[in-house]
Amino acid sequence: MKQKPNLNFWKLWNLSFGFFGVQIAYALQGANISRIFATLGADPHSLGYFWILPPLMGLLVQPIIGTLSDKTWTRFGRRIPYLFVGAAFAVAVMCLLPNAGSFGLTIGGAMIFGLIALMLLDTSINMAMQPFKMLVGDMVNEKQKARAYSIQSFLCNAGNVVGFVFPYVFAWIGLKNQAPKGVVPDTVIWSFYVGAAILILCVVYTVLKVKEWTPAEYAEYNEAKEEVKEEKADWLTLLKNAPATFWKVGLVQFFCWAGFLYMWNYTPGAISETVWNTTDTSTHAYQEAGNWVGILFAVQAMGSVAWALVLPRFRNTKVAYAISLVIAGIGFSMVPFIHDQYLLFVPFLLIGAGWAAMLAMPFTFVTNALQGYGHMGAYLGLFNGTICVPQIIAATVSGYVLTLVGSHQSNMMFVAGIFLCLGALCVSFIRAEK
């Protein structure tokens, strides 16, 4: 079996560049789901139910895409066809979701329309996102894999920054940031339109620049026994035979992604309550707070980019992982005590440290542990369950947890901080593969 060749920077960059556009779409979704459905009339205690759909679709879609693409060989490539189709569907749905309140439907009808659009959007985003992870697993050698995922992490965070700041920027240039009760403001609607345009342009760039290996070339760099295994192993068999690292990293992922689900879900209500002193979604103050959430999430993404440059300087990756999660936990715990919109930059910069580690390190640990197992696409699709399942569980019980902490959305930041610290403790169970 031949060793996979070293790739220069631009080839590594091109493998992941489309991720920039996909992440803009994901950022717009993540920063605005709670704002959109709260504007449509959802109660804060039921907001978590709207957050079940995104990870649920990821749980269902990514293993399917991973498994199917393992067996797909076309003249356009192995992974790229799924990337392009997913992006095309995402563009269409991004133009529909923010208009849920603009079609003259009842409150219930608008929410059902929004839920269907959200389900389709997250299905298509997951379909477009998964191939980027698999392209790195297919074509990058172990020596360069950490660098490749770091580039992917940088592009992910850059896309986050762009997507997060769109509503604030559009309000600044004069688009309306307030709309009739039950209607999403123009700042949010146009953010989705522009994000959709950037997404398709970035994906087209990747399609034109990346040439996947043919079946013969792939066989030269991967053990032949992989093809035999792929014909016999189902998902349950793969999970049964997964390396211990797969499950130990998954335990860390459980606490981390549950914590971040609460951040995405409750930050709009938390800062509108603690900084703008309102929970009324029909007010200009609430919509202004919603725009500022995008800025805070952008600050978090920039903190993540900065911390991603620090992470390689740690000699011990487990120590780097654990410290990053503890820093994020501290950041979450600071949020309820801060009542100035600009001072909130500090905790969200700290939260970015945890996000940087969550993007880069789990896949480095797992893909290294999976060498020789075959089914890389299927395994990475199944590993996505360690991202989706905790979010589904956290979203399902979120209303109950919110009641336990006094029904103050800002207190959910404490819960998120505790989860990140528990995740840091679980890092000690991981055995890093060389």
Name 11's Cβ contacts closer than 8 Å, sequence gap at least 6. none
Domain segments of the chain as ranges: 9-429
Q: Residue 213 pLDDT > 80, yes or no?
A: no
DSSP letter (8 states) at residue 409: G
* Amino acid 39: pLDDT: 87
CA–CA distance, 349 with 345 (Å, rounded to integer): 6
Tokens of 163: 């997507």
Phi-psi region for residue 104, left (φ > 0), alpha (ψ -120 to 50) or beta? left
CA–CA distance, 73 with 23 (Å, rounded to integer): 26
Note whether 127 and 86 are within 8 A (CB): yes
| CA 233 to each of CA 64, 82, 236, 373, 382: distance values in angstroms, whole numbers, following the listed order | 14, 22, 8, 11, 13
Q: Residue 229 pLDDT > 50, yes or no?
A: no
Note whether 72 and 385 are within 8 A (CB): no
* Amino acid 233: pLDDT: 59
Note whether 73 and 403 are within 8 A (CB): no
Task: Give the 3-state secondary structure of residue 434.
Answer: coil
End-to-end CA, the chain: 19
Give the count of alpha carbons within 13 A of 117, CB side only. Answer: 22
The amino acid at residue 66 is: G
Listed residue (76, 57, 88, 82) closest to 199, CA to CA: 88
* Amino acid 433: pLDDT: 55
Helix extents (H) in 140-283:
142-172, 186-209, 215-221, 225-232, 235-241, 244-274
CA–CA distance, 17 with 76 (Å, rounded to integer): 17
Tokens of 208: 């034109």
Q: Give φ, ψ of 407 to 5 degrees.
A: 60, 20
Average pLDDT (165-178) is: 93
Quick check: pTM over 0.85? no
In this predicted model, what pLDDT tens digit does every residue of 98-117 receive, in sequence order? 999 888 888 889 889 988 88
Note whether 159 and 20 are within 8 A (CB): yes
* Amino acid 231: pLDDT: 47
Q: Which residue has the higher pLDDT, 214 or 200?
A: 200
Most confident of 121-130, 236-245, 258-267, 357-366: 258-267
Note whether 222 and 79 are within 8 A (CB): no
Give the count of alpha carbons within 13 A of 334, CB side only. Answer: 17
Q: Residue 217 pLDDT > 90, yes or no?
A: no
In this predicted model, what pLDDT tens digit does every residue of 63-94 receive, in sequence order? 787 777 777 777 777 888 888 888 999 999 99
In this predicted model, what pLDDT tens digit does every residue of 375-429 receive, in sequence order? 666 777 778 788 889 999 999 999 999 999 999 999 999 999 999 999 999 999 9
Q: What pairs with residue 77 in β-bridges?
A: 74
Tokens of 87: 């992006």
**Is CATH 3.40.50.620 the classification given to domain 9-429?**
no
Name 321's Cβ contacts closer than 8 Å, sequence gap at least 6. 252, 357, 361, 424, 427, 430
